[in-house]
Structure 1
Amino acid sequence: MSQLAFQPAYEAEKALQPAKVCVTGVTGFVAGSVVARLLELGHTVHGTCRDPSRTDTVAHLQSLPGAAERLKLFKADLLAEGSFDEPIKGCDFVIHTASPYIINVAQSQVRAKLLEPAVKGTEQVLSAASKSPSVKRVVLTSSCAAIYGNPHEFGKDHVYTEADWNATSTDKVLTYSYSKKLAEERAWEMAKAQSQWKLVVINPAVILGPPLSKRTDSESVSIINQILTGQMYPAAPHMGFGTVDVRDVAAAHTLAMSHPKAEGRYITVAKSLWVADFARAVKAGFPNSRLRPPVATIPKWLLWLIGPMAGMSRDIVTHSVGMCPQFNNSKIQAELGFKFHSPEAAIKDQVDAMLALGIAKPF
């Protein structure tokens, strides 16, 4: 299924003349769908990644319709001074998706491996945008992690909006979320210090839906694989997340790039689900499978004890278990006319794609 067949082009996207767009971090889960949509809309894409010569990480992009004529890959590194200057030069728009994704990092390495790459990478990209007079808009992939840390940090019944900022995360607690907050704050500082380009920010939560490549380091691929391999039976962690289809996230980026009135932050979350709901959605999509959804939840005290051995740090257990954040997603719908699709359907499509790519085994 093409990007536009799933999420048809909006009027603002159709009205935009073919442009040159730099997309950073093109080998990532979100960026692949962004590139696919841009190419299908007729744009030329300058994609950055750490090593364009690695066919195992870029072949899926090069095989996209329109890629042979309108996709050019560039080598760039978040910490390498000036490495984004060449790919951004002459571009009309920049979509900055590249950011380090490391959930479990040793405390001694947090600043070097997580915080500095996230912030300095943002500085590098936005500085390069300012060096190219052609750039008129930058769309930043941030996260709901910049909006909240602990789902109950503003009260149990709080519904998050674009006005909220993460009040829990620090360089010692929920450090990945802290990196997203710092990077977005720095982007807004830099945007307000100049008048050449406009910044628009997309804030998704857990992103579901079909991957385009065999990379398995996305959060949702990991969660779904745990379900498919029976790790969620008989009990699952009682944790909730905002969820959204990756194809909707791609459309949110390209619409934010195209729409003349797009501004500020946009919460890009269709609905919130508990982890057990993910498993139930897989079972509903594959009713004849042997998969057994969880029938209980793992006690918080037990997760706190065994979590680190299973890759779940204790700060995540403390600030996530037993809680599910709620979001107000009306801004993107009201201002841009955006339409969300079902996360449960995205899970079905994701499993189909994972099976086809060989990153999940039949279950």
Structure 2
Amino acid sequence: MMKGKVCVTGASGFLASWLIKRLLLSGYHVIGTVRDPDDDKKLAHLWKLEGAKDRLQLVKAELTEEGSFDSAIFGCAGVFHTASPVLGRPTSDPKAEILKPAIDGTLNVLRSCKKNPSLRRVVLTSSSSTVRARDVSSPNVALDESSWSSVELCEQYQIWYALSKTLAEKAAWEFCNNNNIDLVTVLPSFVIGPSLPQHLCSTAADVLGLLKGETIRFQYHGRMGYVHIDDVALCHILVYEHKDAHGRYLCSSTVVDNEELTSLLSARYPTLPIPRKFEKLDRPYYELDTTKLRSLGFKFKSLEEMFDDCVAYLKEQGHLQLL
């Protein structure tokens, strides 16, 4: 059953690919934006999705090029903006390389949305990092959608990803409020699960390192929320479809310390050299209050389920061997 036409930006990405998979299974016609629609190798996984042959179109758009999303978005009832820059390598100016594209890219997409008379709702992928960066002296209370990360703290400690997501989301809210655009934002925690693209995404690479005995990738987590990739995709569709959905939605199944996580994983996968000790970080204790999302009837997969699915994927792809 056709549910109408929607646009997904950054279509080849880890989350966007899962979102497109779920949208197609739900009966939507999907317009996905990519940098190069002719890159068959990078996009092959999307064309293998059920329903892709009949209800998926991939079109070119550049995040920082104003107007490049106009044709993709025009005629769509919904827009899912998932595309966002991530620093995958050391750089001389990380602030300029991640902040400007994140903010300008979001505004470019929203300016195209403003031109579209068919638009019903925009769903923006933000991050739980937009609520977590706060002073260590902050009270130990559960963080909810009313919480915002401290811009000053992000600047001071050069937490560029959190800063980029915070400033981009704030810019989105200002623009949409000023232009009467129905916006809902989703704030996922650390996303775990199988990757549909052929290349190993950064989160799967982090998990693989941990399962092989490395601590460096997870060291900075300290205490972290985790959520299954499929739950994040389903959450986006839920808040798009639910007429009463509004504002921000934290999307996280469980919050655990590194030691709690690796204790669980060591017991579950005893043949893997999973580390048990991590350097203690001076960071505040926190929980994430997901009552708002759960009130819409949403149920999260468990920590065990998300890591089981991720481990099975890593094994299937030949990245990991279980004795």
1: distance between equivalents of 2:137 and 2:170?
Answer: 19
Aligned to 2:272: 291
Tell me if the contact between 1:38 and 1:45 (Cα under 8 Å) persists in the aligned partners: yes
Q: SS in structure 2 opposite 1:169?
A: helix
Tell me if the contact between 1:237 and 1:297 (Cα under 8 Å) persists in the aligned partners: no
Q: SS in structure 2 opposite 1:94?
A: strand
Q: SS in structure 1 opposite 2:119?
A: coil
Tell me if the contact between 2:5 and 2:77 (Cα under 8 Å) persists in the aligned partners: yes
Confirm or deny that 1:164 pairs with 2:125.
Answer: no
1:284 CA displacement: 4.0
1:322 CA displacement: 5.1
Counterpart code for 1:222: A
Kindly provide the CA deviation profile for residues 206-255 of structure 1, in whole angstroms up to 9, marking residues without a partner as x.
0111211222232x21221112222249x966711111111110011000
Tell me if the contact between 2:212 and 2:273 (Cα under 8 Å) persists in the aligned partners: no
1: distance between equivalents of 2:269 and 2:135?
Answer: 31
1:82 CA displacement: 1.0
Tell me if the contact between 2:137 and 2:284 (Cα under 8 Å) persists in the aligned partners: no
Tell me if the contact between 1:224 and 1:278 (Cα under 8 Å) persists in the aligned partners: no
1:351 CA displacement: 1.1
Tell me if the contact between 1:23 and 1:94 (Cα under 8 Å) persists in the aligned partners: yes
Tell me if the contact between 1:34 and 1:250 (Cα under 8 Å) persists in the aligned partners: yes
Is there any run of 5+ residues in structure 2 with no aligned partner, and where? none
Greater shift after overlay, 82-91 or 349-358? 349-358
Aligned to 1:270: 253
Greater shift after overlay, 183-192 or 98-107? 98-107
Among 109, 115, 128, the alignment partner of 2:99 is 115
Confirm or deny that 1:327 pairs with 2:288.
Answer: yes
Kindly provide the CA deviation profile for residues 139-186 of structure 1, in whole angstroms up to 9, marking residues without a partner as x.
00000111121473623x121110011012128621111000000000
Give 1:37-116 correspondences, 5 Å limit. 37-102=22-87, 105-106=90-91, 108-111=93-96, 113-116=97-100
2: distance between equivalents of 1:150 and 1:222?
Answer: 27
Is there any run of 5+ residues in structure 1 with no aligned partner, and where? 1-13, 301-319
2: distance between equivalents of 1:260 and 1:163?
Answer: 21
Greater shift after overlay, 221-230 or 257-266? 221-230
2: distance between equivalents of 1:62 and 1:239?
Answer: 38
Aligned to 1:362: 321
Give 1:4-43 correspondences, 5 Å limit. 18-43=3-28
Counterpart code for 2:172: A
Relative to structure 1, the CA distance from residue 237 to residue 181 in structure 2 (aligned partners, 3 Å threshold; closer, same or farther) is closer
TM-score (norm 1): 0.82
Kindly provide the CA deviation profile for residues 54-84 of structure 1, in whole angstroms up to 9, marking residues without a partner as x.
2222111110000010010011111112111
1: distance between equivalents of 2:303 and 2:121?
Answer: 29
Confirm or deny that 1:143 pairs with 2:127.
Answer: yes
Alpha-carbon RMSD: 2.2
Q: SS in structure 1 opposite 2:85?
A: coil
1:338 CA displacement: 1.1
1:259 CA displacement: 0.4
TM-score (norm 2): 0.92
2: distance between equivalents of 1:238 and 1:91?
Answer: 38
Among 178, 184, 192, the alignment partner of 2:177 is 192
Confirm or deny that 1:182 pairs with 2:167.
Answer: yes
Give 1:171-320 correspondences, 5 Å limit. 173-195=158-180, 197-218=181-202, 220-232=203-215, 239-287=222-270, 290-298=271-279, 300=280
1:285 CA displacement: 3.9
1: distance between equivalents of 2:265 and 2:116?
Answer: 46
2: distance between equivalents of 1:343 and 1:151?
Answer: 27
2: distance between equivalents of 1:33 and 1:284?
Answer: 29
Counterpart code for 1:226: G
2: distance between equivalents of 1:107 and 1:158?
Answer: 37
2: distance between equivalents of 1:284 and 1:207?
Answer: 21
Relative to structure 1, the CA distance from residue 124 to residue 193 in structure 2 (aligned partners, 3 Å threshold; closer, same or farther) is same
Tell me if the contact between 2:79 and 2:121 (Cα under 8 Å) persists in the aligned partners: yes
Tell me if the contact between 2:73 and 2:116 (Cα under 8 Å) persists in the aligned partners: yes
Counterpart code for 2:47: Q
Relative to structure 1, the CA distance from residue 78 to residue 214 in structure 2 (aligned partners, 3 Å threshold; closer, same or farther) is same
